[in-house]
Amino acid sequence: VTGSAAEVAAVLRAESTFVLSSHARPDGDAVGSSLALSFALQALGKRTTVVLHDPVPKPYQHLPGVGEVVIADGAESVPGAAVILECGELSRTEITGLTRPTMVNIDHHTGNRLYGTVNWFDESAAACGELVAELIDALGVKWTRAIATHLYLAISTDTGSFRFGPVSARTFDLCRRIAETGVDTSALSRDIYDSFSIGRVRLTGAMLDAMTLHHEDRFAVLFFDDALLSRCGAVIDDTEGLVNIPLGARDVVAVALIKQQGPDRYRISLRSKGQIDIRSVAALWGGGGHMNAAGCTIEGSLEVVRHTLVTAVGSVLNAVSDAAGVN
């Protein structure tokens, strides 16, 4: 752990205007952490602007404050101290103009580069939203329903509904307090998880139909490209979270989702269960993330990319089997 909620709170109290940002292609933790903190700073009478590189995913668009999020490539025209949430390095924002005299970095990703003028990094947090919750307490701001809604979005999505990552007593204590604000967490969960398009449902079927299995069904590989998206009537937003589906099979302990980004260029999302360190696979190609969720970009033909991934994941699976004393 680097830094603390108290240290960050002292820095934030001294400023009056803020630009908050998070990573490109924002997920629930990026959106929830940014907006929860934005509402808390506003409660202290401060001016805030949330700037993201890409639109908020559709299932979260009706949540409070999302309509005021600025989508832009640059934040030069937005005044104030910068607060960067949920980014291992500043470049993950894909936004220029965020380097400021006061730049706060709050994150839980292993390998955070500590690029802020103030850094608070804690990889024991199940979501960046857990750190934001502590920070809001340190700022002395009462949790409103809007704040609690965004904290729940962050925590629920980053843990896959409390199934993975370092879910702890802290996680559930925060959720107890979220429920106490009057947020209807089951209605919110239906909004978050059951509001997909029919294109998404069709795409799920097509991708699973073409799924390949390797290493005695322990490793599943999914693939999509623009042609498959359009054939299913789906858009890129519809692919969020699909990488987790094969983990629903008892035998599957690791998944790669290969997304074609251009000729011979593929974005890889990786997931794993338990002690399978999938981040070590992403790191082979300069990627990053967490032990059970990581990503990287690989160049080459699809068949070569698939083959190298199968080999790399095989080594990780064997290492875990060896450590467990089985073959």
> What are the residues binding Mn ion (CB under 5 A)?
29, 86, 128, 158
Residue nearest to Mn ion (CB): 29
For the bound state, the minimum distance from the C-beta of residue 272 to Mn ion, rounded and expressed in Å, comes to 16
For the bound state, the minimum distance from the C-beta of residue 156 to Mn ion, rounded and expressed in Å, comes to 12
Residue whose token pair is 């990026």: 30
Closer to Mn ion by Cβ: residue 29 or 237: 29
Using left for φ > 0, alpha for ψ between -120 and 50, and beta otherwise, residue 116 falls in beta
Closer to Mn ion by Cβ: residue 86 or 234: 86
For the bound state, the minimum distance from the C-beta of residue 243 to Mn ion, rounded and expressed in Å, comes to 15
Report the C-alpha gap between 293 and 110 in whole angstroms: 11
Closer to Mn ion by Cβ: residue 29 or 277: 29
Closer to Mn ion by Cβ: residue 158 or 277: 158
Closer to Mn ion by Cβ: residue 174 or 207: 174
- DSSP bridge pairs for 260: 266
Alpha helices in the chain (DSSP H): 5-13, 28-43, 128-138, 145-158, 169-180, 185-193, 198-209, 226-232, 279-283, 302-323
Contacts of 299 (CB under 8 A, 6+ apart): 264, 265, 266
For the bound state, the minimum distance from the C-beta of residue 290 to Mn ion, rounded and expressed in Å, comes to 8
For the bound state, the minimum distance from the C-beta of residue 86 to Mn ion, rounded and expressed in Å, comes to 5
For 76, phi and psi rounded to 5 degrees?
-55, -35
